[in-house]
Amino acid sequence: MSEHPLVSLARQTVETYVKEGKVIAPPKEPTAEMKEKAGVFVSLHRKGHLRGCIGTFAPTTESVAKEVIRNAIEAATRDPRFPPVKAEELADLEISVDVLTDPVAVGSERELDAKKYGVIVKSGPRRGLLLPDLPGVNTPQEQIAICRQKAWIDENEPVELFKFEVRRYH
């Protein structure tokens, strides 16, 4: 099975950066999706365990291709939960890329679905984001609780809720 072009781009980015310390250029002939502007998350797993996950909930560059390159390097080297990926780990990495739709404000958690929608929880400048359809996260309440933890938002603090969808590529 061949990899989706966005996953191949993320893999090439991580391998080049880890082995050579170089940031690759976006493809000379990008796919239509690579030319879009969107938030992108790059997730790295190794032997079934999370190894790094970094992303942007809104576009910070002019294209999905540049978001993938930036966030793949961040996921491999700057996720504070993990040490930087080493060259000997590269062969075992499973990579997924999530391209996010624009977040939409929701009035209550009844409008959420943990399998279909990702969630952003916001209180003032603090934001926590959780992608949809993650193993072991089955309810919007669990998503919201994890988002609050990630953003250091107390469980009693009032929050704004947003939902988004993703196109996930493995």
What is the value of pTM for the model shown?
Answer: 0.91
Kindly provide the residue ranges of all beta strands, DSSP E only, lying in the chain, ordered along the sequence: 40-46, 49-55, 93-100, 104-106, 118-123, 126-130, 160-164, 166-169
- Which residues 6+ apart lie within 8 Å of 72 measured at CB? 9, 10, 11, 13, 14, 17, 42, 95
- pLDDT tens track, the chain, 170 positions: 579 999 999 999 999 999 999 999 999 999 999 999 999 999 999 998 999 999 998 999 999 999 999 999 999 999 999 999 999 999 999 999 999 999 999 999 999 999 999 999 999 999 999 999 998 999 999 999 999 999 999 999 999 999 999 999 98
Beta-sheet pairing, 118-123 with 126-130:
antiparallel
Domains of the chain: 5-100 (3.30.700.20), 104-165 (3.30.1490.150)
100 in Cβ contact with 39 (< 8 Å): yes
- Which residues 6+ apart lie within 8 Å of 22 measured at CB? 16
